[in-house]
Structure 1
């Protein structure tokens, strides 16, 4: 029992990759914590270092609950990550429903990932001058998933959907996000401009004159353009390199 009347004692256990956010000594084991009497489950989860956006299911004393449940003395709290392997359909997930559209906003450290997500057809906002407050506001206003390597950004109240990106380089980051969010089924490769995030559209070869090198016009038959930046794109060597990555991520027959 808690000896301080202003606190209660609860035991927390985090599962799978949520342990990455904990000090090494607390990973994979029960953690007994003193909590303020008015503390919510969400408050304590984040106080222990785990962003709420990484959590899919919470069990308190074996029963599923939401983030706003007040902790009681003696509670045992089990916290599970997104897309855990076992079937949690009968239980209460902490989010009522997924976002209607899979759209992203990436922080200043994920410019390469933002370009690769656009490559695979996912609307992704990125500006290396975005402040955390701007990213939070965009996510709230437009219903976007926040991508970041800053766990404090994911703890902001207005961020309801987000992913902490573990990989360091852009291509492994893309593989990680595709696997975590099961993006292959909704990918639309080569449909967005990598620079502008605007839709690409096909144009006739006659419209390309003066906008591509003469050798390209002689060798290529298919062209697309971005109406925002006016650039013209074709299936050159860089496209073939990108296509190899797309073919790795998106099953054959999906395109």
Structure 2
């Protein structure tokens, strides 16, 4: 069995045992172990990794670890574009689409509010999430590290925050979502697309007070739920404005 030296950077250290954080350490590797196998054996989901350097050279997850290798593992880079260096994935996702696990219903709701295609069902099993991620090329959002280690999941995000709005801010910052947001374009219940609809077509379905006060409406193309700009909409607009606001200098 080969012995290699590993060093993890920035927030990837959160997944390591305390004595391995922020430092290089040696580790004996299983026979024919790949970089992906060893990274995950040390506790880091492969979906959190953006760049792997072995002896200074960018490699893929399938690179076999050899005796004396020095393996440096990096998370997503915020400050500069490292696309020419990447070897760990064959291609980026063309569209930002998500599937959230059973513990992130509030986050899924807020992502739909900001216009992102987000699948969620509190009955989703891990196998179903993996299948949706693979077949529909979705980014998995979860607080379950083991879920992100599944072979069929190539893109994922381990959510650290506990409260829904803090989770939304975290995901927006980590994945740079602000430029792609399209608030109030998706149904909060079923994820369908919203379309403007004439009041006359939905008037019979409206509560009397809503019928009197409001003139503009949208309807879901999938479940046909009707939305209007009431007091709840104002609160949601404040939430959206807060997450889309540029960070304070």
TM-score in terms of structure 1 length? 0.93
> Structure 1 residues 150 and 8 mapped into 2: Cα distance closer, same or farther (>3 Å)?
same
Measured after TM superposition, the shift of residue 125 of structure 1 is 0.5
Q: Which residue is equivalent to 2:136?
A: 142
Give CA deviations for 1:10-55 in whole Å, capped at 9, x if unaligned: 0000000000001111110112100023000000000000000000
Structure 2 gap segments, 5+ residues each: none
SS across alignment from 1:33: strand
Structure 1 distance, partners of 2:50, 2:136, is 21
After alignment, is 78-87 or 228-237 more displaced? 78-87
Measured after TM superposition, the shift of residue 248 of structure 1 is 1.9
1:151-166 equivalence runs, <5 A:
151-166=145-160
Q: 1:194 aligns with which of 188, 211, 217?
A: 188
Q: 1:74 aligns with which of 31, 54, 68?
A: 68
Structure 2 distance, partners of 1:56, 1:89, is 10
Q: Which residue is equivalent to 1:228?
A: 222
Contact 1:192 1:199 (8 Å CA) reproduced: yes
Tell whether 2:127 aligns with 1:130. no
TM-score in terms of structure 2 length? 0.95
Tell whether 2:23 aligns with 1:63. no
Contact 2:54 2:72 (8 Å CA) reproduced: yes
Q: 2:39 aligns with which of 24, 27, 45?
A: 45
Measured after TM superposition, the shift of residue 86 of structure 1 is 4.6
Structure 1 gap segments, 5+ residues each: 1-6
Structure 2 distance, partners of 1:246, 1:84, is 22
Measured after TM superposition, the shift of residue 217 of structure 1 is 1.7
Tell whether 2:74 aligns with 1:109. no
Aligned residue pairs, count: 246
Contact 1:64 1:92 (8 Å CA) reproduced: yes
Root mean square deviation, CA, Å: 1.3
